[in-house]
Amino acid sequence: MKGKIIKGIAGFYYIQTAESGIYECKAKGIFRKEKIKPLVGDDVEISVIDEEQKKGNLEEILPRKNALIRPAVANVDQVLVIFAAAKPKPNLNLLDRFLIAMEKQEVPEVLICFNKLDLIHEESRVRLEQIYEHSGCRLFFTSALTEQGTGEIRRALNGKTTAVAGPSGVGKSSLVNRITPEAVMETGEISSKIDRGRHTTRHSEIIRVEKDTYLCDTPGFTSLAVWDMEKEELREYIPEFVPYQNGCRFQGCTHTHEPGCRVKEAVEAGQISRERYENYLEMYEELKGKKRY
């Protein structure tokens, strides 16, 4: 029987099948032997051990179209990253780190959502829009409280598997409930099996919204290091730099201190967001100073 892993916890994997509901499965020993870790979002084949108790074995992981490390999910079409527009004030450095991680992992599309729109003035919204207008990401502004913008996001999710990520306290769970109110009830079956609430933040979980539309709710994050790359790589993950960097005077320009740098000129001219550029400089210095063992 084929299905999709919608949650994995303590060595058990919960498999959503099209016709027969959710099965609790253990992975075969061959996965551990070959150091293959099943991921939430994996399409799999299972064998049923007990139909009445809905128990089985995970037999095979079907070919993945992609697999992310942070968050640890497979087969996503896009990532929706949610930050609060206020309370707490959006940590744009943290957001930029997340966007770089997504660029590095070749996520097909990233949607940025600033929630709690009801708490900010129009000029603040416009400023956020200006900062990320050339980031290559689609931008959304929502309020889980008033439901403003939720319809627009729902249309963007339709027919896709979307990983939802963001720091704690930004209203992620409230927004997901607003976007997919009918999906919350479907998770009751799995919650009762593992005796945990749906919004446990330590594990990724897939919510089936409707046919061919899935949300993967992932744990909140408060920090992201950029250790898994060289400092020279970092510039390749900033889409705003691409139109300018071939015009720099020096080949291999780092866009930090070199004369004749077209990227720095674009920042001064307001063509590249200064906030995004300064976050790049901070991450570059971190990578420059990282210890090598």
pLDDT for the residue numbered 174: 86
pLDDT for the residue numbered 209: 82
Q: From the first residue on, what is the mean pLDDT of each consecutive set of 10 residues in the chain (293 residues)? A: 91 90 90 87 94 93 88 91 94 95 91 96 96 96 93 94 88 84 49 44 76 83 74 94 95 95 97 97 90 45
Exposure letters 20-59 (e unless 16+ CB within 10 A, then b): eebbbbebeeebeeeeeebbbbbbbebeeeeeeebebebe
pLDDT for the residue numbered 198: 41
pLDDT for the residue numbered 217: 84
pLDDT for the residue numbered 92: 96
Taking alpha carbons only, the member of 200, 178, 184, 204 closest to residue 116 is: 178
SS3 of 190, please? helix
**245: part of which helix (H) or strand (E)?**
helix 242-245
pLDDT for the residue numbered 202: 61
Side-chain-side CA neighbours of 242 within 13 Å: the count stands at: 8
pLDDT for the residue numbered 189: 46
pLDDT for the residue numbered 292: 47
